[in-house]
Each structure stands twice: as C-alpha cells, then as structure tokens.
Structure 1
C-alpha cells in the first residue's frame, strides 16, 4: 500500500510541477522575438524582419541582438545596397546613349557616391556615438538623394533604378524608426545632414 500511495503522490507532484514548466515554455514560444517586436514599429515590417534576420546574426553574432545592433545592421544593409547600386549606375551609364538619361544617371552617380562615401559612414559613426538625431538626419538625407535620383530618372520616362532607389528609401525609413527606440546620448549633432 505504501508503494501505491507514494506512486500517487509522485504522479500528483509531477503533474502539478509540469504545469509550471509548460506555461513558461508555451509563453516563450508564442511571444514574438525582439526582431519582430521592433519591426512592428517600422513602416516596412516584412523588409525589416528579413533584413535583420538575414544580416544580424551572421555579421554581429548573438551579442549584438539589440536595438542598437538592429539600427547598425539596417545602415549596413543600406551600405551594401547603395554600393551595388552605384556600380550598377556606372554600368547603365556606359550603356546608354540618350543624353537626357545620361544626365539623370550622372546625377544618380553623384548622389550614390555621396551616400556611400559620406552619408553612410557618418550615420554609422553617429550610431557608434549614440547620436540618434544624427542617424535619423543621415537616413533622411540618404532617402532624399535616392528620391532625387528616382525623380530624375523618371523624367526620362524609364527608370532603370526604380527598385534599388525604393529599397534604399524603405531601409532608411526602417533605420529612422528603429533609432526612435534607442536611448538618447548626451552628445548630439550631425548638422552637415541638415
């Protein structure tokens, strides 16, 4: 009889203990990740999630899975795309003979050169310093140059850069949104963007 009482008590104990272990596991499985929570606050959720999930861990490792790491990753994704776009614009420029298109593409070359060589390094420097206003101003300046490039190409009735320009604009909007959730550092001011 004692064995059966002990078995019953053990089963009751295991049953009640399992309730405490199952609930937290289920809550953890159903709770959105920090990436998903953060991306829900941006204007382009799917692009945000795919960008962060594909670039973040491979480039920064798990120690950078935080809001600052997300902002930095988004800026680096912009840098990769802007560099590829600049190379593409140079190739397209060499292939086109239409004067109006070449003028538009020449303007895009200047814009993307400034994005790659000046604005992105400064925005990344701002994120390293905790200068959130500088990062947002940089993202805005980059998006404006991509918009300007697109408008000039559209004036020729055919934009060979529509997708690239839109991608850069969307990533800039994501970066600016993410930066809103970073703590503000005491030193700020990247006035050359303004």
Structure 2
C-alpha cells in the first residue's frame, strides 16, 4: 500500500481530492483572508493597508511604486521599508543643512545620532528581517525608526524646523511596522521555513541517536566537567568584568546594567527604590523595570482620563486613549510574558512600542499635552527597559 501511494497517478489523485475538498468545504468566511496570499489581487493593497494606522498614506505610497502590482504582502512590506528609507533621507538632509548652519546646536547634534541609528541599525535590520521572514525583527526595526524620530523631535520646543519631514517618516515607518506585525500574526508558530527546519531536525535519525546518547548521566557529567575545566583555564581575564553582571547580589550590578541604558541615573534610582533589586540578576532587574513602566503608564493615564472627563470633545485626548489602551492591553503584557521566557527580542519590541505610543499621544497636542511630564517619565523608563532587554539578547 505504501509503495502504491508513492506512484505518480496516486499522488495526482490525492492532490485532486484535496483541491476539491478545499473548494467545496472551505467556509466562505475565510475567503477574504485567503486572498491576501495571492499576488496580482486588485484588493491586496487595500486589504493590507486597512490593517495599518494610516490606510490612505499606505495605499498612495504603494500605488506609486510599480513593484506593488506583482507583490504579495511580504513584497508590499519591503516596498514600504524603501519608502521609509527615502523619507529618512529627506529628514536627514534637513538635519545636516541645519547642523552646517549652527554647529553648536545640541538638539541637532543629538538628532544626528538618532538618524545614524536609523540608517545604520534600524533600516538594515528591517531589510534583512523581511528577507528572512523574521517579521518580529522587521517590526522592531521599524518601531525603532519611529522611536528615534520621535526622540529627535522632542528635543525641540514646538517641533523641529523639519517637523513635516519628520512626521512623514514617523507615519510611513508606523505603516511598515504594522505590515510586519500582520505578517508575524499569520505565522504564530514560526514561518514555514522555520517549521520545516524543525521537522527536518526531529526526523534525522543520526541526530536523534546523538541526542539520546547525550542524555545519559555519564555523558552529562563528562560534558559538565569539560565545561568547568575550559572555563577555568581558557577564559581570558578581560571577560571577568563582563561576566559579573550575570551574578545576583553583586553590588555593582545595578550600575553596570544601567550604564548600558539611555537614562542611567533614572535607571539606578528606580531600581534602588525597589528592595527586590538586591537579589536580582539582570533579567530580574528588567522585570522590576517593567513594573515601573506600568506605574508610570498609570500616572499618565490617570491624567488623561481626568482631561477627557473635563473636556469630553477633546480629539487629541480621545486618540490618546487608544494609545494607552494598547500600552495596557498589548505592550506591557507582551513584555511581562517575554521576560520569563527569555524572549528578549519581544520584550524590547514591547517596550519600544510603549515609547512609540506615548510619543504618538504627545504629538497630538500642540506644545505638549497637559500631562507631558508624566508622558515623558513613561517614555524614559520604557526606553530603559528596552535597553536592558537589548543587552540581554546581545
């Protein structure tokens, strides 16, 4: 029976039966979702863009690029990353022109560092990630573009001289991040390539045999002994300082960790105020900082709700409510779940999203919101947690 099932005629018959069953029995409610996988679909751009925060911008950007006509959703994401690169170049040109005119302007110099990160880290990360179907990393790269752009703008009271170019970059990067997030949601257990790789591994008899042998008590003991010997005799002394950050109860642990974040003083004061820090490793410090993010978010949200109660028709405040809903329902829970699983990339992404949501709220108010101090505090502490997560995964 097994040999017959491998014949070409049998395979063709099985394939035909599968197609018929798919057409006859597939619920019609799934049809709209299935269409997003077929290139050349006239509705593909609209369907994709309707799942982003700026549908009109998304549609106009994609329709202006002839590659969109033959692209699937992944291809549309890649096209949007190119649009992000173009918008970043426009904003960066403005920054450089202003720096040439006013070399001593501290805000402009800081913005230059932000745009260096965008070009050297964030965009290359997204380009590489889309190519590898690593949509979570692609989303993180684009969200970091938003965070860097917002960080630059916040240095100018009332907005920078290039705030229009900055806003354009902000919006198109948010669209690219949303496309990456939607693609990531379509593969919750990993991309097809990743799943195939896992299946191939578990089906390899040789690897299974090696795996079984390595689980014997004698083999484990031998491996452990070899690791200890190598650690003692071959570890360069220059690595000792770095290793200490992973041991709890180290008096320098908080300082060493916080010095690798954008706000060291805030990081130190926040951690030292929590008694759990005395027995925490770096991972534990990150978890403590998430609690601080939640507390700061509650402070800002309390001010927001009071503003809405006083001024029911306040449009920017109404939009901010959606931002803080994402922070409480999506971003913070994602980070809380990710840290215990050692999924530091997801933790970093979640905290960067907190920064982006807080900044997005603030941008709705001319000159800043009535709770801009609480918003800034949330922005800073979330950036610290994102940096700790980045240290842990590097």
Whether the TM-score (by the shorter chain) exceeds 0.5 is yes
Identify the residue that residue 138 of structure 1 maps to in structure 2. 141
Pair 1:51-2:61 in alignment: yes
Shift, 1:110, TM fit? 1.0
Identify the residue that residue 91 of structure 1 maps to in structure 2. 97
User: Are 2:153 and 2:159, in contact at CA under 8 Å, matched by a contact in 1?
Assistant: no
Matching residue within 110, 113, 134 for 1:110: 113
Q: Deviations over 1:26-81 (max 9, x none)?
A: xxxxx9621111111111011101111112x2xx3643x21001111111100111
Residue 168 to residue 61, structure 1, CA distance change in 2 (3 Å): closer
- Unaligned ranges ≥5, structure 2: 1-40, 196-342, 350-389
Pair 1:79-2:85 in alignment: yes
Pair 1:66-2:69 in alignment: no
Shift, 1:134, TM fit? 0.1
Residue 158 to residue 141, structure 1, CA distance change in 2 (3 Å): closer
1:139-154 alignment, distance < 5 Å:
139-154=142-157
Identify the residue that residue 27 of structure 1 maps to in structure 2. none
User: Are 2:126 and 2:137, in contact at CA under 8 Å, matched by a contact in 1?
Assistant: yes
Shift, 1:158, TM fit? 4.8
In the comparison of the two structures, how many residue pairs are matched? 154
The alignment partner of 1:83 has SS state of helix
The alignment partner of 2:85 has SS state of helix
1:10-21 alignment, distance < 5 Å:
none
Matching residue within 41, 48, 53 for 1:38: 48
For 1:176 and 1:144, how far apart are their aligned partners in 2?
A: 12
Aligned Cα RMSD in Å? 2.4
Q: Deviations over 1:154-180 (max 9, x none)?
A: 3xx451121122112111211121123
Residue 75 to residue 190, structure 1, CA distance change in 2 (3 Å): farther
User: Are 1:67 and 1:181, in contact at CA under 8 Å, matched by a contact in 2?
Assistant: no
Identify the residue that residue 128 of structure 1 maps to in structure 2. 131
Give the structure-1-normalised TM-score: 0.71
- Unaligned ranges ≥5, structure 1: 1-30
The alignment partner of 1:114 has SS state of helix
Residue 114 to residue 190, structure 1, CA distance change in 2 (3 Å): farther
For 2:112 and 2:48, how far apart are their aligned partners in 1?
A: 33
